[in-house]
Structure 1
């Protein structure tokens, strides 16, 4: 039988098959890694810009921004800080939010020329990461005396780069009050605890409180006050890439090199709080509110002054409850406005008005119980409001005084002194009147009145009313001027 040729292809060598299998496995693994990377995106970085004094508005903005960073699963929140300081209560509210945040928080003093003085220094120490841009500084964290006279803050010092910073004893001056020493000791212990929590320079932190020292960016980095320097936010994120940070919920490894940056801007609520918590605006709102209610009570039915006054007064009081105020100053302001309003109704010849202006000015000076930069009512504002109130009371008092002196225009009393004309010529003596008295009728104010005269008067005679008895008027004749005779 003839032999049939085989159609089977020869098998490839074993080494070639092994190489193909390996290539396929590598391609599958690479595809799986790419899919996993796409399925797990890098978390965003939230930037919170804060410029100006730390107050209720900035505290509310930072607190809500940190809560938003948690909701959006951000991997890092950066507080871009530039502040001269602020209120102690607002600072502590911000620090509490930072310490409780599950998202790592970085304080970045930027841009160049910015600072984190006073309350800003505490916030920097509280953050998980502290960074500064070139040309910035921080420090001068001595608390300012609240209420009443206190000691003057020591001049800030700028130690050299080789100065390691050793804690010094509290300022021992005879002028230092017990309350001031308590505030300084409390602030020093507070920032010392924050420094120990973050592993930063404890000695310099205490010096910043007790001696008001300051540091530049290079000095702060050399003395372990901050963690790193960066030119801007993208440079900061490149420096932080791969770093592990401990938060309230545990360790977090940052992958910020290619993270998307989301900058949060203050919304309408933050802008509203920033406006109404300005002590000048709060004082003006309270003044407008008091005068608006005064107009409404004095002239019921206008409605608009009462509505606007009530709204302004409530908003002003809401702003004051967010600020450190002196209740004595607030009481003096209300007392002064009450005196100014009373001056418009009582004939005190300016005594109440003058006392009201003094009480209002003294209360405005005492109203804000802090010397923190950015808070307080300046003297020109107090003088302007006091002068406006004085002018207001002067015009209202002058109108009231002229109204009191104006003759009576209605009622029976308005008839006394009026002129009339006799319309009945047959005036005869009346019963119960004097022998020479006569009664008749006259036209007064266009009305027909029964009149009584001491002597008979002819019809058409002009008379003046001197009194009234029920429905009878007492009249006297008006002498007609005699006509001169030409020579």
Structure 2
């Protein structure tokens, strides 16, 4: 039989052992948990922002990139990946995007994705400007000649003029034979060459091929681009890209310094365009801006011919202001806009001035030529299609013939109310006029006090020749 002292001591030991297990279990779990290699900091687990451009580069694209990079930085992203598929775009929008990338507080990786995508023209410049340039298999880049001045194939070369990428003369910057074309063409090509070479030197990429992409409009598939140091790597998809760039150190502008990426398995943070960007993308579409301009002109024209209706005037004013804002952001030829206005004026004048069709035909010709010239660029996605121009021209002719023509006919109808309508009306004397020429007549089933310079007998027909307040001046028929 055990003593009470022995029993109490055993119970105390059991309680102490239980407390040790209870308090030590969490510490043991932490100690046994697998630790990440190298010891990750909170920065290492930051998400990766994903932005997507799958259209021509324009004002809406520049706004989206600018706001997207700011949002990614505000939400603590360690990297912004720009998934790119573009045929090119406007020079002003491209340069704005590149400025935002160069000044970005977080690294930017441009990824030409998915397979079959391209980074042509402006897309090539954006790739060269990015901290990391990557492509998916089956994609291509290049053809960076400014198409507005060189056409789809770039500036033509004279026999024997084209130089090889490693030409010593080009490398030393010696005087070369001038490019064909006018001075403005050469100036813009040289500016584009200097711009893309500067980006290539900044990122340590192939500057010689970049110059060829501008001068000769050459292109490269993904694998060759990686071999020639035009891009950094080829990745199958976004996860593959993040795994391959994990651990890279990126140098950012001051005061941000160097950042080491820890992107393997990082959470993705998609950043979609907001309503403001979608609205901007809609109104800066050249076709939409073109239609808004015409709606504004037609609305104001209809309000001018039919004052007081208000709805055409209000709609026209809003549409015209939106069109002017869009034209402020787009490369618009004001000569083309002037020809469109001249064409509408000629077609409207045809309805009022008998010109045997000369004004009408001239107006249609001026309208079509102005529509073709309106967008001062041949960049894909920013030129007005012929189908839209022809359709709008036919709609304009129908509008002017039917709507404006009906408004003009309504203005020519005789007045049916007011003092203007009373003049010339025929009435009947109700009484014999007195010696002062005053009496009463009935006109339009109403009794009026009237005055006549000649005697009027009861029942005699009279004609109203004037209105003085509530008294009519009449004469015998």
**Could you say which residue in structure 1 is the equivalent of 2:219?**
214
Q: 1:366 aligns with which of 368, 373, 378?
A: 373
How far has the Cα of 1:337 moved from its partner?
Answer: 3.9
**Could you say which residue in structure 1 is the equivalent of 2:326?**
319
**Could you say which residue in structure 2 is the equivalent of 1:110?**
113
CA distance in 2, matches of 1:343, 1:379: 25
2:462–2:474 Cα contact (<8 Å) kept: no
1:21-420 aligned within 5 A = 30=31, 42-146=45-149, 153-154=153-154, 165-166=165-166, 174=180, 176-248=181-253, 249-340=256-347, 346-349=352-355, 353-396=360-403, 398-399=405-406, 402-403=409-410, 406=413, 409=416
CA gap of 1:204–1:303, structure 2 versus 1, over 3 A, is same
CA distance in 1, matches of 2:195, 2:42: 44
How far has the Cα of 1:268 moved from its partner?
Answer: 1.2
CA gap of 1:405–1:287, structure 2 versus 1, over 3 A, is closer
How far has the Cα of 1:45 moved from its partner?
Answer: 0.8
1:467–1:474 Cα contact (<8 Å) kept: no
How far has the Cα of 1:343 moved from its partner?
Answer: 5.7
CA distance in 1, matches of 2:177, 2:384: 30
2:43–2:78 Cα contact (<8 Å) kept: no
CA distance in 2, matches of 1:378, 1:441: 70
1:442–1:451 Cα contact (<8 Å) kept: no
CA distance in 2, matches of 1:356, 1:391: 13
SS in 1 for 2:263: coil
CA gap of 1:251–1:352, structure 2 versus 1, over 3 A, is same
After the TM superposition, which of the residue ranges 266-275 and 86-95 deviates more from structure 2?
266-275
How far has the Cα of 1:102 moved from its partner?
Answer: 2.3
How far has the Cα of 1:172 moved from its partner?
Answer: 6.4
Q: Unpaired segments of 5 or more residues in structure 1? A: 1-25, 157-163, 433-439, 476-487
2:155–2:215 Cα contact (<8 Å) kept: no
1:468–1:474 Cα contact (<8 Å) kept: no
SS in 2 for 1:138: strand
CA distance in 1, matches of 2:423, 2:230: 90
After superposition, give the CA deviation of every residue in 1:54-76 in whole Å (9 maximum; x if it has no partner): 11111111111111222223211
**Could you say which residue in structure 1 is the equivalent of 2:10?**
none
After the TM superposition, which of the residue ranges 382-391 and 223-232 deviates more from structure 2?
382-391
CA distance in 1, matches of 2:376, 2:295: 22
CA distance in 2, matches of 1:63, 1:193: 22
How far has the Cα of 1:310 moved from its partner?
Answer: 1.9
1:329–1:364 Cα contact (<8 Å) kept: yes
Q: Could you say which structure has the larger radius of gyration?
A: 1
1:171–1:210 Cα contact (<8 Å) kept: no
After superposition, give the CA deviation of every residue in 1:291-339 in whole Å (9 maximum; x if it has no partner): 2233344444433333222221111111111111112222333444455
1:416–1:465 Cα contact (<8 Å) kept: no
RMSD (Å), alpha carbons: 3.9
CA distance in 2, matches of 1:442, 1:247: 95
After superposition, give the CA deviation of every residue in 1:398-449 in whole Å (9 maximum; x if it has no partner): 435544664565658767585x77989x99xx999xxxxxxx9986654688
After superposition, give the CA deviation of every residue in 1:193-234 in whole Å (9 maximum; x if it has no partner): 111111111111111111111111111111111111111010
CA gap of 1:466–1:112, structure 2 versus 1, over 3 A, is same
Q: Unpaired segments of 5 or more residues in structure 2? A: 1-26, 157-163, 171-175, 467-471
1:166–1:204 Cα contact (<8 Å) kept: no
CA distance in 2, matches of 1:359, 1:108: 45
Provide the TM-score with structure 2 as the length reference: 0.76
Provide the TM-score with structure 1 as the length reference: 0.75
After superposition, give the CA deviation of every residue in 1:323-368 in whole Å (9 maximum; x if it has no partner): 1111222233344445555666x44556655544443333222211
How far has the Cα of 1:466 moved from its partner?
Answer: 7.9
2:110–2:127 Cα contact (<8 Å) kept: yes
SS in 2 for 1:145: helix
CA distance in 1, matches of 2:280, 2:359: 35
